[in-house]
Structure 1
Amino acid sequence: MDKDIHIIGAGISGLGSAHFLKKSGFSSTVYESEGQPGGRAGYEKLEDGYFETGGKNFAESWTHFFEIANDLKMNELDKQHHAFNIIMNGELKTFRKTMGFAEVVTMMKDIGITGSLQFKRMINYKLKHKHQLNFDEGKLLEVEKEYDHAPITEHFHEKLCKGPLRMFSIIMGGAEPEETYYSNLLHIMPFGVGSLRTFSNTIGEFFETLASNHDVQLNTRVNKVLIEDNKIAGLMVENQDGEQRVDASKVLVTLPLHLLPNVIDLPEHVKEAIKLVRYFPVALINAEYESDIFTEDCQSIMFDDSFHIGHCSANRSYKLNSVRFTIAGKKGREALKLSDEELVKLAESEFSSILPIKSPRVRYHVKRHMGGLCAYGANHSQAKKIICDYVKSIEGLEIAGDYLEGHNMGSCLSAAKKAVNNFTQA
């Protein structure tokens, strides 16, 4: 058995796959076009630390993530902020993550009795079926058949969609409620997953430590996966020395789905299925100020669709002077054409209309994820099946990523684990 696996992409799916392969006695080579690992959960090195430029939080229930963290002996974790704040009806509303009677009453006033009952039923359904709301158990397929003929704005009260539901659709997929389907929403809602955590230092340290344990070739782009007679035959790889062919019989592609046609010559029906899986662009701004911007009671804000900012939060609960602004949603996408400085000033201006910034800015960094966040689509399981059926038809090819088992890093690792199992059990 060939135990050498070639992995395209050094994000969480790629490096997680390399980790699982090594534990199973397989070797791997990871190709990454950028100069550092991490992908869309990446980071920017500073002289005295890091800016985290993408996903950084993980849930207590992500067993694969904690397996890797424990293997790396990275166990110093911080809890995330204890409440969320949403702009509803033009006012900032605060809700604890474990809502008491006062918060429930406040939410009922803002989204109405109908919206409140719909929200309660949705949460109860998620909690009841949290272990079956995946693409293996069939429960998501039931939801798709019943609801995915129209987005959530056609099924739920307008105030509910513009408030709590938009919080989930924007944060997880950069999508507006009218771009989100109920199956997507149930899949991404973080109820029943346990408390959110983040590394005390930075997720950048996690990725660097993980990458150091494997053969990761940075600044190396895979231009083409070579397929002959429905079998993997090799790769066309380009680095500073030019392009060369690398012989390979087993390849794992962990790129975002919309990049898959760039490296594999796909049949037209597979290309059409890929187009059904949406990726919405976002920009993430890290900014530090001389003194605190957030307060102990307000460490995150979810904006409504009248703002270019989708949401923002303190980078850590003990670093209230360090702010992460996310430009997302329909209006946010319009602002991505601005320069970095213009984008920062726009974010600060909108933020200050809710919580005034009274301290000078020290430094900032803008990261534009133009490929964006995966927001799935209507009847996603049908598109997924077409894509996966093609992959199964090619001997030695596997895929992993945010479009298979879920949007978050934990789900990316679930997809990685499945791909690794297919290799190791072949």
Structure 2
Amino acid sequence: MKQKSVAVIGGGISGIAVAHYLREKGIRVQIIEAEDRLGGRMATASLRGRGIALGGKNIGVKYSLFREFTKSMGDHPFEYFGLNSSRIRNGKIVTFDEKKRWRGMLEFAKSFSLRDLVRMIPMIRAVKADRIKDGYLGSPFFQSWQRKTKDAKLASVFRKNLVEQFIRPMTVRMNGAEPAEASVGNFGSNLSVAFDTYEQLSNGLDPLFERFSSLVPVRLNTSLESLIVREGRVVGIKVLQEKRLEDLYFDHVVLTTPASVSASLLRNHFPELSGTLEQVRYFPVAVVVAEYAKPVFNEKVRALVFPSDKPLSNAGVYGVNDRHIVRYTFSGKSARDILSGQPSLEDLVALGERTLSEFIPFRENPRVSFTGKVMKLGLCAYAFDYERFRRDFDFQSSAIQGLELTGDYLRGASIEACFRAAKECVDGLQISDARIQNGKEEEKALAASY
């Protein structure tokens, strides 16, 4: 018996995670990626020869699955970054720093109503008590809130002050969604990210991805044109590489692309599942990283969150010791019209500088260089009624042989949530241990023959 083979469509963090877990099980795997590098929305760009992560650079201390992955890839040390965020309140900058976490929480709580605190405290307790159960999409605690609340949008569950000061920075930064667009049933995935401590890979993401690609076959610059389906079973893929179409056959295909991309690939053969995936919303985001001659931020203030009337949602230092490198993030409703107009990176960095300088003046600090990217499907805002979505998704996808799906829409948009969803996907893959063992024995026999 030949060793079973799996094609993983998409080289973002979900695709990397799926391929990693398949490889651990001894299954032959190949990644198909349309871009010229691995990473997807976590892919790096160059800033004067330095690799700069445009997404996912901050790694939570509680990201256990991702940290197990980095450890399995060799020596990839972490360094402290922390959680530091400032907001504008009554024209003044108010800073929340994890080193003074409870003092900061008390400062913010002063402006919140009693009703808000009564609702928020049990939510925080639920996530902190059991992060695995209630810190990801599908949380029983938050789904019960979804069911019992008539209008389950966060903006209607909490009052304006709490929404603007505490909730919006989380939903806009993580999902690109305004609180009036975000479901209370999905809020656990935001709180679990907020109540963590963060580090960065000391050498960046590139060495990690390079090591991974040395272990798993990857076809870059290769786009998936369609699935090959025979008698209702997915048996392969039709790909386009260097203007040449090619049919590739596999025992299983795993789609790790954004839900809307997967929906378009499934539309002709599996319209019901395609329609379910179309319920998942994505919002655009642009990230621009600029280097300046002198520090822009200071040791106390390392990031600034902007109000809803600004297209710039966040600006902050790239690293604790990189206060001269600023990361501008454009997301939220005010940014969508600008991002839909295909702005240049130069226009965006200029807009970011004008907005930031209203609160932190740095006009006499010349810009040295910049890089960045505009991502139309940058931030996943999930399905609004996740409980119903997941029920339909599981039922419809389980009926399709030879196909699995996973991604940021199943457990959450954080790196750890993508790894968790990928592991669940691979653990449920219907390839028996006997077939895997036969594949391993065949590999040994072939090696001995050489």
DSSP 3-state at the match of 1:320 = coil
DSSP 3-state at the match of 1:319 = coil
CA apart distance, 1:228: 1.8
Matching residue within 225, 229, 232 for 2:231 = 229
CA apart distance, 1:335: 2.0
- The answer for the alignment partner of 1:377 in structure 2 is 383
CA apart distance, 1:217: 0.4
For 1:149-180, what per-residue CA distance to the aligned partner results, in whole angstroms no more than 9, with x for missing partners? 43111111110001110111011101111111
For 1:71-111, what per-residue CA distance to the aligned partner results, in whole angstroms no more than 9, with x for missing partners? 11233112223432122343321122254665344323433
5+ residue gaps, structure 2: 433-450
CA apart distance, 1:252: 0.7
CA apart distance, 1:271: 3.2
Which one-letter code corresponds to 2:403 in the other structure? L
- The answer for the alignment partner of 1:38 in structure 2 is 39
Establish whether residue 412 from structure 1 lines up as the match of residue 418 from structure 2. yes
- The answer for the alignment partner of 1:346 in structure 2 is 351
Please give the residue correspondences for 1:208-223 in structure 2 after superposition, counting only pairs within 5 Å: 208-223=210-225
Query: Mean Cα displacement is larger for which, 378-387 or 96-105?
Result: 96-105
Query: CA separation in 2, counterparts of 1:309 and 1:258?
Result: 25
DSSP 3-state at the match of 1:29 = strand
Query: Mean Cα displacement is larger for which, 388-397 or 98-107?
Result: 98-107
DSSP 3-state at the match of 2:131 = coil
Which one-letter code corresponds to 2:405 in the other structure? I
For 1:104-144, what per-residue CA distance to the aligned partner results, in whole angstroms no more than 9, with x for missing partners? 44323433444445443432233234332246674443232
Which one-letter code corresponds to 1:414 in the other structure? R
- The answer for the alignment partner of 1:6 in structure 2 is 7
Contact 1:108 1:115 (C-alpha < 8 Å) held by counterparts:
no
- The answer for the alignment partner of 1:333 in structure 2 is 336
- The answer for the alignment partner of 1:17 in structure 2 is 18
Contact 1:15 1:211 (C-alpha < 8 Å) held by counterparts:
no
Query: Mean Cα displacement is larger for which, 91-100 or 368-377?
Result: 91-100
Query: CA separation in 2, counterparts of 1:312 and 1:25?
Result: 43
% of aligned pairs identical?
A: 25
Establish whether residue 294 from structure 1 lines up as the match of residue 300 from structure 2. no
Query: CA separation in 2, counterparts of 1:386 and 1:308?
Result: 35
Pair 115,93 (structure 1): closer, same or farther in 2 beyond 3 Å: farther
Matching residue within 365, 378, 384 for 1:359 = 365
Pair 302,47 (structure 1): closer, same or farther in 2 beyond 3 Å: closer
DSSP 3-state at the match of 1:282 = strand
Query: Mean Cα displacement is larger for which, 246-255 or 332-341?
Result: 332-341
DSSP 3-state at the match of 1:110 = coil
Pair 229,139 (structure 1): closer, same or farther in 2 beyond 3 Å: farther
DSSP 3-state at the match of 2:317 = strand
Establish whether residue 277 from structure 1 lines up as the match of residue 280 from structure 2. yes
Query: CA separation in 2, counterparts of 1:392 and 1:343?
Result: 44
Pair 143,247 (structure 1): closer, same or farther in 2 beyond 3 Å: same
Pair 269,125 (structure 1): closer, same or farther in 2 beyond 3 Å: same
Query: CA separation in 1, counterparts of 2:85 and 2:390?
Result: 33
Contact 1:283 1:327 (C-alpha < 8 Å) held by counterparts:
yes
Establish whether residue 80 from structure 1 lines up as the match of residue 81 from structure 2. yes
Contact 1:61 1:193 (C-alpha < 8 Å) held by counterparts:
no
Query: Mean Cα displacement is larger for which, 28-37 or 224-233?
Result: 224-233
CA apart distance, 1:241: 5.1
Aligned residues: 426
CA apart distance, 1:46: 4.4
Pair 55,137 (structure 1): closer, same or farther in 2 beyond 3 Å: closer
CA apart distance, 1:204: 2.7
CA apart distance, 1:190: 2.7
DSSP 3-state at the match of 1:25 = coil
- The answer for the alignment partner of 2:443 in structure 1 is none
CA apart distance, 1:146: 2.0
Contact 2:290 2:327 (C-alpha < 8 Å) held by counterparts:
yes
- The answer for the alignment partner of 1:66 in structure 2 is 67
Query: CA separation in 2, counterparts of 1:355 and 1:289?
Result: 14
Pair 49,177 (structure 1): closer, same or farther in 2 beyond 3 Å: same
Contact 1:172 1:373 (C-alpha < 8 Å) held by counterparts:
yes
Pair 340,324 (structure 1): closer, same or farther in 2 beyond 3 Å: same
CA apart distance, 1:424: 6.2
5+ residue gaps, structure 1: none
Pair 191,274 (structure 1): closer, same or farther in 2 beyond 3 Å: closer
Contact 1:116 1:160 (C-alpha < 8 Å) held by counterparts:
no
Query: Mean Cα displacement is larger for which, 64-73 or 117-126?
Result: 117-126
DSSP 3-state at the match of 1:44 = strand
Contact 2:12 2:40 (C-alpha < 8 Å) held by counterparts:
yes
CA apart distance, 1:262: 2.7
- The answer for the alignment partner of 1:203 in structure 2 is 205
Query: CA separation in 2, counterparts of 1:241 and 1:168?
Result: 42
Matching residue within 309, 316, 319 for 1:313 = 316
Query: CA separation in 2, counterparts of 1:396 and 1:255?
Result: 17
Q: Could you say which structure has the larger radius of gyration?
A: 2
